[in-house]
């Protein structure tokens, strides 16, 4: 009997169970460099210690998406090794900022279990928390996945959690230190402030980024995400896609980096409302992105934009509203529909 | 009307205009690791804190080419987003050394504007300065690019700057701390000192390096250079090359890393006299390099070599002098002709 | 006469000769990030400063394989530039732990020289030491390579060293600080302790990792290993393989990272007993791994496992014992047979 981890099947989970995930991770400036090099991220707040100090922070914080991917990666061996599909995210909040040198670990609580009618799979909801070396939460989010059952006859207690459609603006967490009074718009990359964005507005991010196998593998390993579908070409040759799948988090990060062009000052992601990986991305594909402003909230010291980040492959979406047609179907090029909150300076 | 940046066209520039570029960048040891991993750079001075301390410096400085690429990258969204060609470099001087932890920003002054006779493009000269967190200049250079006009009929004030053919040896900047009295030639990689090189000498750097799409994309994003031609395979399929172009700075760095073999101790680049990207490089190509010693200057504490770094693709240039034939034409394999100064210890 | 390094040929070596290798290297957290990103390494001890502190160390040490590759890389220009084959390793011991910020240099003593009967090549044995900035040894190992002769008629003094079949458990070096009394098995990744492993046991590591050209080139350059066979596709097109060879150290690291799954807590490599690169690995191949427990040793505060790490390409080895058949021949898929000691907590 080998000692390697077979992963949890649907019936291995229990409502209320808490799982402490393996491999805590000290985040370093090396991780930040790699993230920049793998995505093209350009937000001044995460790129420059001086810029961050001018905004009241001790140094440049780590891009919240790095935090998300690292925390997510830790959960994979326990939650989604036998997953058929990653179904969604909700109620994501970025809390204490993470700086190079901080050490993150992750815990998940099982908050939902629901068998599918075919009895071969079930849906598992977990609330995952990223926690730093001081015990403070840095991230809190719900995700749900469809997981294989080992035994069709297995039965366990079930429940489906109630999830908010979006994080309420009043629940967004902003560091008390953050202060954009001395914000340098030139260094930020544009003059566009909170006041300049309107709900319903679409922004075409113009640029495209072609992804190579080496790039998504390097990124996904950086996050210590071990899902085989991203790495094993021999196994994947026998899958329905016939090739390696790119980790959805890579898609989110590429689309978000592209969105700099038009959302330069909306650096700080505050919350994740929802996210759907509409179609898979493969090496050789080119990612394009557009954003829709869904909502705005004045948080006092800063503004917040609720943004819908839509990514497409191999075809720009010039009229981004075309991402869905009249009957709610996505354009076949669409790969991601991601709903989040970001802070932005007021003028 | 989308908020994304369309870039400046020829007639958007004004003589004397100063542009403060976006996204300041704290350089870290992560950037240094990536530079080593992407180029194969091996100069002891940039690789070892102990070696640098023995040369009077507080720790290993960042390779000046990293500084060049980062500063250059910042200028792209403002200067060359609508460029047809990057035409040349001149009067480049590396000033205050950059150490991990330093934060760089960039400013450019428009010093030349000259419409081409076809009225569709014009040549823009800018003098760009890289500036650290103390306000000290770390790099100063001129580059000129051919930029598209938006409107053929637009007219603006024109001027063409006078540029030096090379940086005078007396204008090269050397840190007062630098002291090679205790130089360890074994650790440096060879016994070749200033005295051993002669003007007119050619050095064949022997080794070759094949470049992959993932490698040049990772490098170019590390420098936060956003020129689409390097990243968007879909767009490039419709270009005259039909594929992604490798950023010229990647070529310079690969050739320079290859030049370690024969120029081991000439680590510290002091100035850039001129540079021409003779032909494009594409993924899958293999880079070879040779150097010609153009001049020598005894700077007192250290020597300086003026070097011509010639790179070729897919074919070694064993007789490097063959890079140009009798009528001044380049060998078709040549991709780079780069003229620079580097410091080297005296015996 | 060009100044580039032609490398040493067999007759250039002398018994007892000590070679100080070039390019000392300060190891940084950037190197650690890249190692994680290129291999998928997940051992908590090297990933988390907090986890390492709980084990008595000042912060997370650098994975011993990073130390091995960096030290090995320094020896290449002097020892194996004209090598036909890397034949073996023996008597490897990891000594003083290496932390980010430490600077390593390498020295090799020639301890064996033996001409082959064809007079065209000879076998060179070197004992290589990695040394930190305090002069303390961090690694000591023997390797031997087959090196071309320049001149068939050249004759030099010969000797063949006696090498131990394995490092004795009593010679393994453990930091006095190391203390697993507060070991967190959840964060470590499994409950498997020293007591749970038995000599003769095989562990199938299940996962597979496909390697891209960009990945092995980036890794090999990170170690400043300059062997042309890994980088020059034009030259390699004329070789018997017709393509670039992946550095054997990349194979060791990938197999070792895969072995996390089943050997989660055996993070700290203590010694290298032997290693054979059974067949070459090329880009596009997928690496699988299995481990055999060869021996166990109770070192008091910690346990040690002597492990045989077998890697195969493009085919999992579910019954890993099939790596060799009854007459001692390897399965044609096998690429690596590596014998090492690792520390593991006791319960």
pLDDT over 90, % of chain A: 93
Q: What is the largest CA-CA distance in chain B?
A: 64
Cβ–Cβ pairs < 8 A, chains A and B: 140
The question of ipTM being above 0.95 is answered as: yes
Q: Which of A5, A34, A234 sits opposite C34 (nearest CB)?
A: A34
Check CB contact under 8 Å for B48 and C103.
yes
- State residue B82's pLDDT score: 87
Vertex A338 angle, CA A333 and A340, to 5°: 155
Optimal mutation site among B7, B8, B19, B25, interface A, most CBs of chain A within 10 A: B25
d(CA A295, CA A304): 8
- Closest in A215, A221, A235 to C39, CB measured: A221
The tens digit of pLDDT for each residue in C321-336 reads 667 888 889 999 999 9
Contact A221 C264 (CB under 8 A): no
Nearest-angstrom CA–CA distance, A203 and A317? 10
- pLDDT for the residue A127: 98
Burial class (CB in 10 A: 0-12, 13-18, 19+), C101: middle
CB C80 within 8 A of CB C88: no
Q: What is the per-residue pLDDT for B319?
A: 64
CA distance A218 to chain C (A): 5
CB-nearest partner of C20 from B30, B50, B187: B187
Residue in chain B closest to A214 (alpha carbons) equals: B214
Residue A323: predicted pLDDT: 76
Candidates B22, B28, B226; nearest CB to A207: B226
Write out pLDDT tens, residues A240-294: 999 999 999 999 999 999 999 999 999 999 999 999 999 999 999 999 999 999 9
Rounded Cα–Cα distance for residues C306 and C267 (Å): 13
Residue C92 Cα, gap to closest chain A Cα (Å): 27
Q: Which tokens belong to A318?
A: 């010039």
Name the minimum distance, in Å, from the CA of A20 to any CA of chain C.
6
Report, as ranges of residue numbers, the positions in chain B whose pLDDT lies below 50: none
Neighbour-count burial of C344, counting CB atoms closer than 10 A to its CB (0-12 exposed, 13-18 middle, 19+ buried)? buried
Residue C85: pLDDT band by 50, 70, 90 thresholds? confident
| 3-state SS class at A269 | strand
CA distance B111 to chain C (A): 39
Q: What token pair was written down for B170? A: 């007396």
- Characterize the bridge pairing of strands B103-115 and B121-131: antiparallel
Q: Is the pTM of this model over 0.90?
A: yes
Predicted local distance difference test score (pLDDT) of residue C6? 86
- Which residue of chain C comes nearest to B39, CA vs CA? C221
Chain segment C144-180, per-residue pLDDT in tens:
999 999 999 999 999 999 999 999 999 999 999 999 9
**Chain-chain contact of A221 with C37 (C-beta, under 8 angstroms):** yes
Query: C130 pLDDT band (50/70/90 cuts)?
Result: very high
CB contact under 8 A, A228 and C213: no
Residues in Cβ contact with B88 at an 8 Å cutoff, skipping those fewer than 6 apart: B143, B144, B274, B275, B276
A34 vs C37, C60, C187: nearest CB: C37
The packing angle between helices C213-222 and B213-222, to 10°, is 50
Q: What is the pLDDT of residue B327?
A: 86
Contact criterion met (CB < 8 Å) for A232 and C213: no
Close Cβ partners of B329 (under 8 Å, ≥ 6 residues apart)? none
* Min Cα–Cα distance to chain A from B22, Å: 4
| CA distance, residue A2 to nearest chain C CA (Å) | 5
pLDDT digits (tens, 9 = 90+) for B232-284: 999 999 999 999 999 999 999 999 999 999 999 999 999 999 999 999 999 99
Residues 6+ apart with CB under 8 A from A308: A291, A292, A293, A294, A337, A338, A339
B188–C221 C-beta distance less than 8 A? no
Which two tokens mark A345? 């300076």
Q: Give chains near A: 3+ CB pairs under 8 A.
A: B, C
CB contact under 8 A, C29 and A30: yes
Q: What is the pLDDT of residues A102-144, one digit of tens each?
A: 999 999 999 999 999 999 999 999 999 999 999 999 999 999 9
pLDDT over 90 (residue A49): yes
Q: Do B214 and A213 touch (CB under 8 A)?
A: yes
Taking contacts as CB-CB distances below 8 angstroms, the residues of chain B near A29 are 28-30, 100
Spatial separation of the C-alpha atoms in residues C152 and C319, rounded to whole Å: 46
CA dist list (Å): B74 to B24, B93, B334: 8, 18, 28
**Measured between CA atoms, how close is B107 to chain C, in angstroms?**
28
- Residue C198's pLDDT is 97
Q: Which of C28, C44, C50 to mutate to test the interface with A (most CBs of A within 10 A)?
A: C50
Nearest to C50 among A28, A103, A235 (CB): A103
Give yes or no for residue C318 having a pLDDT over 70: no
From B325, B318, B203, B216, select the one nearest B266 (Cα to Cα): B203
Percent pLDDT > 70 in chain C is 98
* Chain C residue with the nearest C-alpha to that of B49: C26
The pLDDT, as a whole number, for residue A274 is 98
Q: Please answer yes or no on whether B5 and A204 come within 8 Å at the CB atom.
A: no
Q: Return the pLDDT at A1.
A: 57
Question: In this predicted structure, what is the pLDDT of residue C82?
Answer: 87
The secondary structure of chain A in percent helix, strand, coil, rounded to multiples of 5, reads 25, 30, 45
A297: closest CA among A325, A266, A327, A262?
Answer: A266
Report CB contact under 8 Å: C232, B51: no
Average pLDDT over residues A29-54: 98
Q: Which two tokens stand for residue C6?
A: 């032609």
Please name the member of A60, A186, A264 whose beta carbon is closest to the beta carbon of B26.
Answer: A60
CB atoms within 10 A of CB A296: 16
Q: What DSSP element (H or E) covers B123?
A: strand B121-131
**SS (HEC) of chain C:** CCCCCCCCCHHHCCCCCEEECCCCEECCHHHHHHHHHHHCCCCHHHHCHHHHHHCCCCCCCCCHHHHHHHHHHHHHHHHCCCEEEEEEEEEEEECCCCCCCCEEEEEEEEEEEEECCCCCEEEEEEEEEEECCCCCEEEEEEEEEEEECCCCCCCCCCECCCCCCCCCHHHCCCCCCCCCCCCCHHHHCCCCCHHHCCCCCEEECCCCEECCHHHHHHHHHHCCCCCHHHCCHHHHHCCCCCCCCCCHHHHHHHHHHHCCCCCCCCCCEEEEEEEEECCCCCCCCEEEEEEEEEEEEECCCCEEEEEEEEEEECCCCCCHHHHECCCCCECCCEEEEEEEEEEECCC
CB C211 within 8 A of CB A47: no
At A49, is the secondary structure helix, strand, or coil? helix
How close, in Å, is residue B63 to chain A by CA atoms? 16
- pLDDT interval class at A6 (50, 70, 90): confident
């Amino acid at each position: 009997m080998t000692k390697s981890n077979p992963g949890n099947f649907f019936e291995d989970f229990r409502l209320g169970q808490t799982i402490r995930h393996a491999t805590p991770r000290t985040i370093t400036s090396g991780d930040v460099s790699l993230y920049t090099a793998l995505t093209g991220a350009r937000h001044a707040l995460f790129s420059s210690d001086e810029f961050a100090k001018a905004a009241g922070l001790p140094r440049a914080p780590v891009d919240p998406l790095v935090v998300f991917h690292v925390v997510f990666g830790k959960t994979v061996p326990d939650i989604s090794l036998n997953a058929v599909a990653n179904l969604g995210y909700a109620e994501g909040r970025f809390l204490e900022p993470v700086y190079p040198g901080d050490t993150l670990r992750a815990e998940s609580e099982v908050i939902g279990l629901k068998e599918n009618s075919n009895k071969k799979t079930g849906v598992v909801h977990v609330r995952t928390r990223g926690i730093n070396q001081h015990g403070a939460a840095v991230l809190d989010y719900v995700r749900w996945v469809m997981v294989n059952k080992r035994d069709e006859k297995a039965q366990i207690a079930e429940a489906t959690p109630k999830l908010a459609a979006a994080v309420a603006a009043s629940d967004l967490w902003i560091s008390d230190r953050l202060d954009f009074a001395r914000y340098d718009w030139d260094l930020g990359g544009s003059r566009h402030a909170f006041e300049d964005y309107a709900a319903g507005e679409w922004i075409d991010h113009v640029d495209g980024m072609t992804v190579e196998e080496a790039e998504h593998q390097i990124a996904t390993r950086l996050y210590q995400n071990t899902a085989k579908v991203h790495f094993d070409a021999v196994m994947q040759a026998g899958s329905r896609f016939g090739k390696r799948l790119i980790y959805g988090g890579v898609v989110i990060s590429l689309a978000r980096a592209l969105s700099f062009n038009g959302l330069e000052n909306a650096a700080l992601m505050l919350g994740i409302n929802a996210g759907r990986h509409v179609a898979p991305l493969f090496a050789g594909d080119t990612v394009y992105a557009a954003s829709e402003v869904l909502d705005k909230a004045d948080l006092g010291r800063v503004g917040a934009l609720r943004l819908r980040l839509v990514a497409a492959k191999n075809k720009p979406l010039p009229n981004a509203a075309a991402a869905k047609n009249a009957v709610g179907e996505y354009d076949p090029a669409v790969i991601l529909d991601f709903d989040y909150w970001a802070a932005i300076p007021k003028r």
